[in-house]
Structure 1
Amino acid sequence: MTTATAAITMIPISMSSREIAELTGKDHRNVTRDIEKMLTDIGEGVLKFEQTYTNSQNGQSYREFLLPKDLTITLVAGYRSDLRLKIVRRWIELEAVPPQPSLSDRQRKAISILRVAEDEAAAFIRKRVNDAVLVMQGHEDLVAVPTPSGKVTPKQMREAVGLFRSLQYVNKLSGMDKNNALLSANRQVKETTGIDLLKNSGATHLLANETDHALTPTAIGKRLGDYGAQRINGALAHLGYQEKKSVGKTDAWVPTAKGEPHSVMEDTGKKHGNGTPIRQLKWKASIVPILEKEMKQDLETV
């Protein structure tokens, strides 16, 4: 046995009074009474084997006993044969499982701190996402927007990044392309935390340049020969790339399944009367040759 192996403390196998009660069909109070009497009779301290557990249903704490094998067998020696057999078989199962290394008090404390930090981080993200949704719905008055004073701390930055990733995912699900999902998420983070992540990273200009490739119907019309936006919209609808749907109190063009690969839903930064964000349908450059090839003649008659 190496020194490193010898230094590892293994958790001793034990059986709880609750498990004994379950296996034997006895009331737990009666089992604990039997254990106390047994420990007193053999001269063992009761507190040595006693501990508390929390009931998951009412949240209250109760006491139980953890017994090693010899004391468990001693306890059930006076029980019926069928009940003793259940206990023996259970001990065979317990001994067949390799013992697990125990944790030091310091390790347990570290794990407890990490779990608390995880819960706090999750709660923060949930609150910030809820705040961002309220802002998107026009309920800014219900949100307390913090404004970082001085230098942003590493903790504030981590929290903002976590919120940013969550909102970016939601934006993509709503139909935004990658760049607009990033820009919208950054604006929402700034509104709820006061931190402009893209400005801090210097990526604003790059993202803006990339989104410049999205074309309006007017820009498409100019590329195809000075056609107006109305004619281009009609051609896109005729080809099955877009359709009109009610959005809030107005009708707006939205891409069809056929048009989605060539479309971009941009967040304009404005809102409808009900607080939902206004998004504008634009098109990737890939739609231009499609219109030119397939509907050049139809454009004249739309």
Structure 2
Amino acid sequence: MNQLTAPVLTMSSREIAELTGKEHKNVCRVIRDLISDHILDAQLEPLKFEYRGQLFDYYELSKRDSFVVVARLSPEFTAHIVDRWQELEQKLNPVFNLPQDLPSALRALADTYEQLQQAQFEREIAVKTKAHISDKKTAIAMTTASKDVQENQRLKDQIGQSKKNATLLAVERLTSNTYTWQPLNKWCEAHGIKPQKVHDERYGKINTYPFQAWMDVYSVNLSALFGAH
């Protein structure tokens, strides 16, 4: 009768990163340093996993090597690794108590292998889900920031102090110069443009003039003037 051997248990660098809360690239860097220092298996080669169409390195470590990595990386998480190894080894225990008849032994081994595969699958899903949630939060934050910027620009346009248009009062306040509205009005008439009206607390409604009118009449660049405001 052929002798059945227990599968070799390993722990991936990705799982170590998840258990310790460290970035995976930092875990891999520590592993490479330990290999260079001949503290880990010198023959240990990186494997590849695909994420968003790109290939990245990762390592599968023995129990001993995983302890060494965590001791170097973040010793306070050693207990987490010990607990995880106990969980993995408990799942593997049925392999060492296989039935004596071959058909039953093969069924038991197949069940155990399926359990190990499911556990690995769940770990991979957890890692990907964590990354997805992080990316989603970043995307939401960027979208919110973009909306805030757009709303801020819209309000500036409404009050006549933006890169697109500005009132006499807004430009005079920033330049400390005095301007008259008549040349700006003539420029608008010549170009078939009707000055927009914006609210002003003191005068009610006042005109706001476009970027090119200010540029052509007074050589005032609204982009430079309001760019930092």
TM-score normalised by L of structure 1: 0.29
TM-score normalised by L of structure 2: 0.37
Which structure has more helix as a fraction of its residues? Answer: 2
